[in-house]
Structure 1
Amino acid sequence: MSESETRNRLRDHVENNLPSNTSSWSTDLIETIGIRKVLTTPAELVRTEWSLCSLSDAELSRIDELVRICSLPCVDFSTVEEIPYYNARPYRQWVQEWFPKIKVNELKLFNENCEEFGYLLFDTIQQLHKSETRSSQLPYEVNYPVLFEKFLKLFELKIKTQPCLPTGNATIFGQEVISSKADILCTKCDDPSKILSVCSEVKRSRSDETEYSPVNKKLRTELPTSATDNEEESTSTRSTGGLSSDVYAQHVGELLAYYESSVLKRGLLGVIFQKTNISFTFLKIKPASYEKIKRRNPQVVLDPAMDEQPILFYTEQFNFLKYQDRKTIFKALLTMRMMDIKSWDY
């Protein structure tokens, strides 16, 4: 896109007013702002791009060890509906078989949180089974945000959930944009006002009540050659799970809305979750670039030659019910947790 075309599109957005809610943001707006997408892996995104603080080789090795210890190999399914349920098996037997107790010095409440996660999972499959066996009963709706919240608690992250979340807001092109509230905020362990990560659920479309599906228009993506991990599938063989470009645009809107509360000045970490599939993101943006976006007019364009363009690093989707995927997710979240704790000591 030429500079004149960019300015014309920006002028149209400014003159026609920006959507006041980020749930209405589209790919076109993100391209106009000048944000480009780069595909990477969860480990690379958290350890290298986000990188709240540096970890030693010993600490990185310990994370790998914790992944092996804590990854719950008995839980290996594609969907909640696929998990078997047996009337004759009581909860206590089920949770002991699937969530054996493990001693983890870094996660002192891991067993308690595992049991809480397992309890919700057991109740969910029990309710699904009951709705299937009673023809007069409506299908059971799985509460995926709560399930994901319980999953996050395995890592003893400090979280805030609806309805007690602050509403993110930002000024874009001189106009105040009020974000819809994020679904979950992960906050700094020693400062609840500082955000580690913004977690957003993929909502159903208002128009047809179906989930977002891929659209033809794609944002330009790049895959760094360094973004590899032995425990992660090749990004060339993994599906994005049907996330449309507009989903990323709306997520970027939320990241911008909460950016000023980020624990880092150079960006904000995010998670997009769709049922039990999650994708990690990191919006890398210089404070000077953010200030330009806030007050920018059609005559001002972020200059790639000056490294002013923001970058949305993002990953493919990983399913926290699947064992191999969960190891990848655990590694990213354990790295995030250890960096959070270590930065407290600085």
Structure 2
Amino acid sequence: MAESSIGFQSSVHCDAQTTNNSVRQSSQSSRKITVSPSYSSPSSTGNGVPARTCDWTRSLVDELGLRCVCKHPSDIVTEHMSAALAYLLPHEINDLDKLTDILGNLNNLDDESLCEVDFKSLKYFPPHEAELRKEVTFKEIDISTYSIFLKRFGLGLWYALKENQPVISEVKYQYLYEQFLQMFGVLVLAQPVVNTESTKIFRKEVSLRADIVCVSQKDDVRCSVAVCEVQKECCSADIDVGPTAPKLRRTDNTSEDLPVAKENTSLPDGLPAQHVGQLLTYLPKSICKEALLGMTVDKTSVTFTRLFMKADTMTRIRTSSRDSVRLKEEERPIIYYSKPYNYLLKKDRKEIVKALLTLTILEHRRVKKT
């Protein structure tokens, strides 16, 4: 199938200034978690927990004793959905790679940022659905849905660039990612229709509304597949004074993220403390009993996450005070996270699309646990 039959076309300004694709660097707390033989939360400067997660600090999140593990987006999604009794067969993995190349092509859209896309040369036209259907071997992927939201994504991109404003608002970035998610079959709810959720953290009531909630079509109660935060300007409360924690470095000869230290015991750079609060608050609504997927969006860069926390651990975090939590190594919650991927870049987009297609396919196959 010809590449020109899918999506929309764009040309890049030859003189466009390349903008930084990396997520914002936030300072890490100076606390160091020691877990031998058990984890004890460090003394806090106060017993209060901010009721708004946008006021959470990285040091507060450190007190949860998170273990942080870096993985690829598709691995995070596959492992999460496998816990819900949904699997891909060996031969389907190759088919999924082929489908990812086709549906994620978007006519070779390949730019660092929206600032580099020349909207005057952005020509949108609908895909040839009949040709696409010949390439799709998964009954869970609806080409009509893909076509509808591809149109919306293309038009949204055109209008966002047409205004020629110096700053593109977070609202427009959120709209674009909503259409991008739905293009690949993910069912979403977004503000203002998203309900406020609440839970207790260290005996304090915390309430919030995620920017985007990916929902299941099968369940009414445990209906959250993933929660997504579109990053705003960093709250001042999220900045702690102290040296940064070990970072991840990316080498030229590998796509893997190599940790400088064997284990990150503090929230990785670019992953806001607020997002951990979102995962904790929406966890009771997750389709998986003790885990929840997440995503953070910084302009057009997407980071995948997954929080895993045993039910007993969650109960203790809810009912204990900040300075009295005692967790053994095996009780500590784990947050899996990917490096950020830019959905405007062709190479990065493939990783995102593969993860979203995997999520859609396995969500349809998921067997509801009794």
TM over 0.5: yes
Among residues 69, 75, 85, which one is paired with 2:119 in the alignment?
85
Of 191, 197, 205, the residue aligned with 2:219 is 191
Aligned to 2:278: 254
Q: Hey, what's the Cα distance between the residues in 1 that align with 2:258 and 2:193? A: 39
Q: CA deviation at 1:218?
A: 4.2
In the TM superposition, residue 172 of structure 1 has moved relative to its aligned partner by 1.3
How far apart are the structure 1 equivalents of 2:41 and 2:68? 20
Determine the C-alpha separation between the residues in 1 that align with 2:368 and 2:39: 49
Whole-angstrom CA distance in 2 between matches of 1:35 and 1:201: 22
How many residue pairs get aligned? The number is 311
* Residues 321 and 192 of structure 1: CA distance in aligned 2, closer, same or farther (over 3 Å): farther
2:298 equivalent in structure 1: 274
Measure how far apart 1:50 and its partner are.
4.9
Retained in 1: the 8 A contact 2:247–2:269? no
Do the aligned residues in 1 keep the contact of 2:190 with 2:212 (CA within 8 Å)?
yes
Query: What TM-score, normalized by structure 1, do the two folds share?
Result: 0.80
Q: 1:159 to 1:140 in 2, by over 3 A?
A: closer
**Where does residue 69 of structure 1 map in the other structure?**
102
Deviation at 1:195, TM superposition (A): 0.2
Counting only pairs closer than 5 Å after superposition, residues 1-346 of structure 1 correspond to structure 2 as 1=33, 6-7=40-41, 9=43, 12-14=45-47, 17-51=48-82, 52=84, 53-72=86-105, 73-86=107-120, 94-96=123-125, 101=129, 102-103=132-133, 104=136, 106-108=141-143, 109-128=145-164, 131=165, 141=169, 143-179=172-208, 181-193=209-221, 194-206=223-235, 217-218=243-244, 233-236=255-258, 245=269, 247-297=271-321, 298-304=323-329, 307-343=330-366
Which digits, 9 at most, give the CA deviation of each residue in 1:131-151, with x for residues without a partner?
Answer: 5xxxxxx76647100011111
2:263 is aligned to: none
Q: Bigger shift: 27-36 or 260-269?
A: 27-36
Aligned partners of 2:153 and 2:176 also within 8 Å: yes
Give the structure with the larger helix fraction: 1
For the aligned residue pairs, the C-alpha RMSD in angstroms reads 3.2
Unaligned residue ranges in structure 1 (runs of 5+): 132-137, 224-229, 238-242
- Of 63-72 and 250-259, the range deviating more from structure 2: 63-72
- Deviation track 1:200-233 (CA, whole Å, cap 9, x = no partner) reads 011113559xxx999864456799xxxxxx9x82
Q: Distance in 2 between matches of 1:338 and 1:247?
A: 27
AA aligned opposite 1:107: D
Distance 1:74 1:157, change over 3 A: same
Q: CA deviation at 1:336?
A: 0.7
Question: How far does the alpha carbon of each residue in 1:104-141 deviate from its partner, in whole angstroms, 9 at most, with x for none?
Answer: 4522321222111111112222222xx5xxxxxx7664
2:188 partner letter: I
Rounded to whole Å, the distance in 1 between the matches of 2:315 and 2:193 is 28
User: 1:153 deviation in Å?
Assistant: 1.0
Q: Aligned equivalents of 1:79 and 1:215: distance in 2?
A: 31
Specify the alignment match of 1:227 in structure 2.
none
Match of 1:33, SS?
Answer: coil
| Structure 2 residue runs without a partner (length 5+) | 1-32, 260-266
Instruction: Give the residue type in structure 1 aligned to 2:326.
Output: V
- SS state of the match for residue 302, structure 1? strand
Relative to structure 1, is the Cα distance of residues 216 and 337 closer, same or farther in structure 2, using a 3 angstrom cutoff?
A: farther
CA distance in 2, matches of 1:233, 1:213: 30
Shift of 1:281: 0.2
- 1:135 maps to none
* CA distance in structure 1 between the partners assigned to 2:242 and 2:41 by the alignment: 24
- Does the C-alpha gap of structure 1 residues 192 and 82 become closer, same or farther in structure 2, counting only changes over 3 Å? farther
Separation in 2, partners of 1:78, 1:216? 31
CA distance in 1, matches of 2:183, 2:240: 32
- Give the partner amino acid of 1:325: D
Q: Distance in 2 between matches of 1:262 and 1:338?
A: 17
CA deviation after TM superposition for structure 1 residue 192, in Å: 4.9
- Structure 1 letter corresponding to 2:212: I
Separation (CA, whole Å) in 2 of partners of 1:177 and 1:62:
43
